[in-house]
Amino acid sequence: MSRDILTTETNRRQLQQIIAGLSDGVILLDPDQSILWANDAALAMHGAAQISDLGSNAKAYAKRFALRYRNNHVVPVDSYPINRVARGETFSDVLVEVTLAGNEERTWVHRVRSLVLADSRGEPESLVLIMDDVTDRASAEQRFATAFRLSPVPILLCSAADQRVLDVNEAFLDDLGYPREEVLGISIAQIDFIDDKNARIWLFATLEKTGSLDRVDVRVRRKDAGLIDCTVSADTVNIQDNPCYLLVLMDITERRRTELELVSAIEDVMKEASWFSRTLIEKLANVKNVNSPKLPRVSLTDLTAREREVLGLICKGRADKEIAARLKLAPNTVRNHVAAVYSKIDVHSRSEAIVWARERGLFSNKG
C-alpha cells in the first residue's frame, strides 16, 4: 500500500471516529461518487439500517430516494445534494424533502450542506454531505402556515428588525381592503394602517422590550380610509432563525358602538348624580375616549397612594425639592416616585403629567 493511500485511509478512519457520534447526519463519498460511509444519524434520516440501504453510489442513491423542494417541486436528479457534492460543489442550507422510493409515507425533511476535503496536492480526497433532520420543525411550520392562512381574523407577519411585512392572510386583505402586492415587502410605517402613529411606535417599542402584547386597543385604517376599532395581540416568533412579529387583529367596532350607546344612556340618567364615583367616571371616560386611544389606558386608581400625592403636587407646580419637603421624603425617593408616575401613565414630562390629570378632571379644584 502506497504512503499516500495509507495516509488517506488513516485520515478517513480518524474522520469517521470524530463524526460517528454526531447528531448531524454525515455521508462520506469517494471522488468516484461511491458512498464510503455514513454515521447512524444519516442512516436514521433515511430510514436505513445499513449503508447499503443508501445505495452503492450517488446514482444508486437517486434511484432509492425521491427529493422535492419545500414548494413541492421535484428536485432534478442532477441537483440532488449527493450529486452536487459528487461534482465537487460546496453549498449550504439546501432544504429538501426526502421520500423513500415507492413509499410516500416515509418522508423526512433535511437541511443539507457539503464539504470537499482536499489532499496535499489540492485534489478532492473526500466528499462530505452533512444533514440536519428538520422534519418536526418543518411539520410545525406547515401547521402554522395552514392555521395562518385559514384563520378568519386578520393576521400579519413582519420582520422584527424593520417591521417589513413578510406575509398576511386573506382575512387581513379582505378586512382592510389591500391587495397583497401593496403590503408584502412594505414596512408597517409605510402602509400606515395603524391610525395613531404614537400608538404604532408604542406597540413596536413594547414588542421589542417584552416580546408580546395582549389585546391592546388600536384604531386601524382601511385602504379606503374607513376606520376599524381593533384589539391587537402580538408575539415574537422565529421564522428560519429570524425573529419576527406575529400580529393578530380582532375587530371590536360593534362592541365599541354598543359600549358608547350604553355610556350615553347612563350619562343621561346620571347627569344630576353628584355622588357618581370617581372610579366609575374614569371607566366611562376610558370608553368614551376610544376614538382617540392613549396607550396604555391607566386610571388614578392604578397609582399608589404616595404616587397620587406626588402627582397632585406636580399639578400644583411644585418642584421635586418642594415635594420632598412637603412629604418629608428624601429627594431621591421623590424622583423615584415621579419616574414611577411617568411610567404608569405613559408620559415623559411634568407638563404631560399635568395634561393627563386635567383631562381626567383630577386635582383641578384643590389648592
Alpha helices in the chain (DSSP H): 3-19, 40-44, 58-64, 81-86, 135-150, 170-176, 188-191, 197-210, 253-270, 278-288, 305-315, 320-327, 331-345, 350-359
Contact 207, 194 (CB under 8 A): no
What is the residue type of 94? V
Q: Tell me: pLDDT of 265 over 50.
A: yes
Q: Quick check: 224 pLDDT over 50?
A: yes
pLDDT digits (tens, 9 = 90+) for 106-160: 899 999 999 998 877 878 888 999 999 998 888 887 787 888 888 889 999 999 9
Residue indicated by cell numbers 408575539:
235
Across the range 96-100, mean pLDDT stands at: 94
Q: Is the pLDDT of residue 285 over 60?
A: no
Task: Please provide the CATH number assigned to the domain covering 1-134.
Answer: 3.30.450.20
How far apart CA 237 and CA 137 sit, in angstroms, is: 13
For residues 227 and 194, what is the distance between their CA atoms, to the nearest angstrom? 9
* Nine cell digits for residue 200: 404604532
**Running DSSP on this structure, what letter comes out for residue 301?**
G
Please say if the pLDDT value at position 37 is more than 80. yes
What is the model's pLDDT at position 62? Answer: 93
User: What pTM did the predictor assign?
Assistant: 0.49
pLDDT at 275: 44
Q: DSSP characters for 239-290?
A: ETTEEEEEEEEEE-HHHHHHHHHHHHHHHHHHTT-TT--HHHHHHHHHHHGG
Mean local confidence (pLDDT), 176-195: 95
Q: Please state which CATH number belongs to domain 151-255.
A: 3.30.450.20
* CATH 1.10.10.10 residue ranges for the chain: 305-360
- d(CA 295, CA 134) in angstroms, rounded, equals 41
Beta bridge partners of 132: 111
CATH 3.30.450.20 in the chain is located at 1-134, 151-255
Question: In terms of CATH architecture, what is 305-360?
Answer: Orthogonal Bundle (1.10)
| Total Cβ atoms within 10 A of residue 159 | 15
Q: What is the pLDDT of residues 160-180, one digit of tens each?
A: 999 999 999 999 999 999 999
- In this predicted model, what pLDDT tens digit does every residue of 1-15 receive, in sequence order? 344 444 455 555 655
The answer to whether 151 and 169 are in contact (CB under 8 A) is yes
d(CA 204, CA 211): 9
Mean of the pLDDT values across residues 328-344? 90
Residue 91 exposure: Cα atoms within 13 Å on the Cβ side? 18
The pLDDT of residue 334 is 92
